[in-house]
Chain A
Amino acid sequence: MSIEKGNALEIDDIQAAALEPRPTPYAGAYLALRIDDRRQGRELLRRLTPALDSVAAFDPERQVSLAVALSFQGLKALGVPEESLATFPEEFREGMAARAEYIGDIGESAPENWEGPLGSKDVHLVLGGLAPDAARLETVLLLVRDALRDLPGVVAIWQQDVHVGPDEKEPFGFRDSIGQPAIEGTGIPGTNPYEEPLRAGEFITGYKDETHGITPVPQPEVLGRNGTYVAFRKLHTRVADFRQYLRDRAKDPADEELLAAKFVGRWPSGAPLALTPDKDDPELGADPARNNAFMYGDDPEGLKCPVGSHARRMNPRDAVVTGEVRLHRMIRRGTTYGPPLPKGVLEDDGADRGIMFAFVGAHLDRQFEFVQRQWVNDGKFIGSPAERDPLIGVNDDGGFTVPRQPIRRRFKGLPPFVVNRGGEYCFMPGLSALRWIADLDT
């Protein structure tokens, strides 16, 4: 398989934001809109669509992107006919809040505790703007504000600004969003030379996927083809708790850093434990040609990178796990919000800080939901049914094993370090689909 552009993939119709990696450094914003007047909602799409880059037109040098995605309620609010709505997958139609228990959003992460209006039926249209810096982001936001002018029937109901943290780190202090799968026909290179490019149907509707079937296309074809699904989540991070947990169990500062890396699967610089198991290597971490060029096959016991660590769970690569890893690959985008907790602080300062996480893929059920259920909040696939993801799992007195010679280390009493504050499932249509919705007359 080849990532060469073309290959029957209609890259001039696919929103660039769906597949292009986010810039780094970056500034960005997520906006949620409610559509009270369907005609004005369609007018907004008419105004915004010309501003959206396709994969074919995307300029990697410019690195400015705007994404338009619609929830199921949003499609309804725009007047998409019932017979079309019925052809969308069940999980999308239900929305993230309705799937909460199934995907592990329970306890503090349950929808009744979400930040309004997330989880309500008012989140119709979600815009995501990303740029390399605040000045260029402002040009994107200006464009959005201009498109919203004189449209009182479309109301902005929620906004989350995101920004790069110091040293391009997420709130826990680790470089993230390093991995990007190679996708057939897109021209976008993957970050792991040892991974075969994935079929386009894993990420875009209407193409052959890894099961050799064609990814289901919501009908009519013009609406459903060249789209993808996005699951966005506002993940609040309990950084002080994470630091304190490690401090209480580490022998010294070096051990503390090692333990944190064992939990994550990478060092703070982004250097993978699989390549540098004993100490951080900032040069490696910063090198996009090398920092994701590895597999786990030579480390079956997880002595270098624990089998249950966050990064290894998110993408087990060639490790022996139950199932076929290629059927559950995702594009994962993380952007940071809130102020960083100053280095060394172990007390929570009450500030809201975390990660705006976005999943992108053509199969919500066997990608995002599967990963949440099987890889994050379960351990049977790695042979450890009692353990969950030590960083983002719904832990309540959880456990985590760090393989080590001569004797493994086992951690108990894990609290949740990440709490979901809310999110939604959206469909990111192709550009023709957006024009089709804009031209509806229902």
Chain B
Amino acid sequence: MNATVTKKAGKGATDGVVSEMATYFHIKPGHEQECAAACQRMVEALKQAPMAATIKTGLRDTRHVIFNNGTELLWATTFETEWEPYIDDAFLTVGFEHFVDWMQHTTEWDTKIAPWIEKSGGLESLTGDKTREGFDEHIIANMAGMRWILQDGQQKATAYWNPVSSLTMSEITKAERINAAFQEVLDDPAAEEALQHPALKPLLAQAAS
């Protein structure tokens, strides 16, 4: 691809360590079911990933909403830290093929992405056997175009709130581990006596429930 993308990702709204990004697409006529299935496949793939991989993607949540009688699609997601500087990272870490899978059912694919593909030497087909040789390479070569389409359909949230926005996923998962360990301590009959030590006063204060 010899063309260049200079437009920066749009800024979403932020709350604490989390930022949001919402992008809107139009679904190709007759592609509603395929689009929905592809969106579900992406989410399933993300669900399967271990926590370390999820932290790497930065995704806090993601949802696809098909609306307006199956003609439009909202991809709404929140991201740990700022979306804007990490937009390239997201494609690489989530895996470009997951985006292609559902985006190919949108009209934006034909009007915006296909011309990029054309410029980059053409892409025979984005459907069919994904394991065939060269498929990933072809897909990934068009990442810049994909970044552009995502930014082009973005709308900043008018209002955004996340009640646990002060915590990163690392801190949340650590808090879960610490709570499990603390509950284990409290299950020990000797815990009450052990927690009387002045150094453990803050823990004793959390032991009642």
Contact = CB atoms under 8 A, between A and B. Distances in A.
B91 to A, nearest CB: 7
A382 B58 CA distance: 11
Contacts of B3: 214
Interface stretch (B106-114, B124-132, B136-144): B136-144
A409 to B, nearest CB: 16
B1 A213 contact: yes
Contact of A89 (B2, B6, B174): B6
A253 interface: no
Contact of A382 (B85, B147, B170): B170
Interface string B1-20: 11111101000000001000
A213 B55 contact: no
A213 B168 contact: no
B55 A320 contact: yes
B141 A323 contact: no
Given A380-B81, A385-B168, A323 B91 contact: no
Interface residues of A, number: 29
A374 B85 CA distance: 9
B52 A320 contact: yes
Contact of B81 (A320, A322, A327): A322
A442 to B, nearest CB: 24
Given A211-B144, A216-B6, A323-B86, A381 B81 contact: yes
A380 B17 contact: yes
Interface string A215-246: 11100000000000000000000000000000
Given A211-B143, A216-B6, A384-B170, 9 more contacts: A211-B144, A212-B140, A216-B4, A322-B56, A322-B58, A323-B81, A326-B92, A380-B81, A383-B169
22 contacts: A213-B1, A213-B5, A214-B3, A214-B4, A300-B52, A321-B56, A322-B86, A323-B89, A324-B56, A324-B93, A327-B88, A327-B89, A327-B92, A365-B8, A370-B85, A373-B85, A378-B81, A380-B81, A383-B168, A384-B168, A385-B17, A385-B166
Interface of B: 1-6, 8, 17, 52, 55-58, 80-82, 85-86, 88-89, 91-93, 140-144, 147, 166, 168-171, 174
